[in-house]
Amino acid sequence: MSYTQLTLKERYQIEALKKEGLSQSAIARHIGVHRSTVCRELKRNSSPGGEYIAEKAAIEARLRYQYKKKNRRMSHSHIRYIRQHLQEGWSPEQISGRMRLDGLDPVSHETIYRYVYRDQKQGGTLYLFLRHKRKKYTRRSDNYAKRGSIKGRIGIEARPAIVETKRRVGDWEADTIIGRGHHQGIVTLVDRHSKFTLMKKVTSKRADDVTRAILHLLEPVKAITRTITSDNGKEFAYHALISERLKSGFFFARPYHSCDRGLNEHTNGLIREYFPKHKAFEEITDKEVVAVQNRLNHRPRKVLGYKTPAEVFFAKMAVAYSVA
C-alpha cells in the first residue's frame, strides 16, 4: 500500500485501538492502511508522553500541510516564467501578480528576489534585469520647469475634475525625453487610466517637431482623446493647434509640481532604462522606440490588477467606439 492522508475518522480509530493496546501493525490492518502510515502518524502527532489525541493530530497535520504549501519550492515552470519575464523588463512584483492570471500558482515577489540574488551569488546575471539594480532612485530636479512662459497657456486648474479620477481613457500626459548633448529626443504620451504609452522619436525639441509627433500619435485615437496635460516646456508652444486638430483640451501643469504629471514622469523613468541620458539618440532607430513602447504596454501593472496597459486600453476603446 502507498501512503495516503488519514481522515479524522481513521484518526479516531487509531486513538481508540491504541488505548486498547494494539500494536501498530494490528492497527494498520484494522483500518486498512500500511503499517508505516500508522507509525508515521503516531511519531508526528503524539505528545512527548506518548499520548495520541485524534482531533489534535488532525489540526497539527493541517498546519503542516498549509506551511508546506505556503513554502513550496518553485517548479521548473515557475523558473522559466520568471526568467522569461525578467528579461522582458517585468519587476518581481509584476511577475508574481501576473502568475495567477496566466494559470500558475503564484509565488511571492520576495521569493523571486531571493531566487535572483541567489543566482547572482552563483555568478548569474538575472539581477541585471532588475530595473534599479539596487541603485538609489534620484528625483528629477524641479529646475526642469524653469523654461519660460507660453502664449495662451491654460493651467491645470481649469482641467475638468473627472480627469483627476482616472476613470476614463483619453486623458493623456505629455513630455519629451532628450538625448545626449540635447540632440534629438522622444515624445512620450501616457493615458492616465490605462497607463498605455505612445512614443515617437523627433530630430529636435522644437515646437513644430513635437507638435507633428503628438498629432501623429494621437490622431488615430482622436475619437477618444479628451485632454492632454504637459509641463511648461516651450516645445508645447503650439498647444492651441494640437487642441484644435484633436478637438481636445490642452492643459499645463503648475510650475515646480511634477506630481501633476506623476504618471508621465514615472513612465519616462522606465523608458530611460532602455535609453539612458548618456545615450546618443542619433543611434536609436524608430524600430527600437516601437519595441520599447510595446514592452511597456504589454507589461502587467499592479494598479491594473496585473492586467497590461494594452489589455485595459483596447478594452475601453472597444466599449467607447461601440457606444459611439
Residues in the chain: 324
Residue 69 CA, chain-centre distance (Å), reads 24
| Residue matched to cell numbers 487610466 | 193
Confidence of residue 277 (pLDDT cuts 50, 70, 90): confident
What is the pLDDT, as a whole number, of residue 146?
44
pTM (2 d.p.): 0.65
pLDDT tens digits, 29-56? 999 999 999 998 998 888 878 889 988 8
Check pLDDT > 90 for residue 170. Answer: yes
Tell me what percent of the chain is helix, strand and coil, each rounded to the nearest 5.
55, 10, 35
Question: Which of 103-112, 136-145, 167-176, 231-240 shows the lowest mean pLDDT across its residues?
Answer: 136-145
164's grid cell? 483627476
What is the pLDDT, as a whole number, of residue 99?
92
Report the SS3 class of residue 20.
coil
Check pLDDT > 70 for residue 144. Answer: no
What is the pLDDT, as a whole number, of residue 245?
96
* C-alpha–C-alpha distance, residues 158 and 248, integer Å: 13
172 touches 191 (CB < 8 A): yes
What is the pLDDT, as a whole number, of residue 187?
97
- Indicate the DSSP class of residue 147: S
Rounded average pLDDT over 265-272? 93
What is the pLDDT, as a whole number, of residue 44?
86
SS (HEC) of 232-284 = CCHHHCCHHHHHHHHCCEEEECCCCCHHHHHHHHHHHHHHHCCCCCCCCHHHC
187 touches 199 (CB < 8 A): yes
What is the pLDDT, as a whole number, of residue 148?
52
Task: Give strand ranges (E) for the chain.
Answer: 171-178, 185-191, 197-202, 227-230, 249-252
DSSP β-bridge partners for residue 202: 185
pLDDT tens digits, 280-294? 999 999 999 999 999
52's grid cell? 495520541
Confidence of residue 66 (pLDDT cuts 50, 70, 90): low
Rounded average pLDDT over 133-161? 68
What is the pLDDT, as a whole number, of residue 304?
95
